[in-house]
């Protein structure tokens, strides 16, 4: 869901740069909606990350935590575009 979200943000940005003022404002609203969705994804992964950290003794869990940490970093970087 996160990567679909990210692709939509990119598409909306490209559209906004080549449009009229009204379309630009509509695009800004759409971007706001996409970033809100990204925030929800961020919180979801954050919860998963912390609920998984207690099972570090297991090899699979260690891999899962590493994967979630990577996704978390991606989400943080993407949300920085908002600021």
Q: Rounded to two decimals, what is the model's pTM?
A: 0.32
Residue 33 is predicted with a pLDDT of 74
Residue 74 to residues 25, 26, 57, 59, 61: CA-CA distances in angstroms?
Answer: 27, 26, 25, 23, 20
Residue 41 and residue 5 in contact, taking contact as beta carbons nearer than 8 Å? yes
Three-class SS state of 61: helix
| pLDDT tens-digit readout, 68-81 | 667 666 766 666 66
Span 6-50, pLDDT tens digits: 666 666 666 555 556 666 666 667 777 777 777 777 667 666 665
């Amino acid at each position: 869901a996160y990567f679909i979200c990210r692709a939509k943000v990119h598409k909306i940005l490209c559209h906004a740069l080549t449009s009229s003022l009204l379309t630009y404002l509509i695009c800004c609203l759409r971007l706001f909606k996409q970033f809100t969705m990204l925030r929800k994804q961020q919180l979801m992964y954050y919860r998963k990350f912390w609920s998984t950290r207690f099972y570090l003794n297991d090899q699979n869990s260690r891999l899962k935590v590493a994967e979630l940490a990577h996704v978390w970093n991606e989400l943080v970087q993407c949300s920085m575009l908002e600021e």
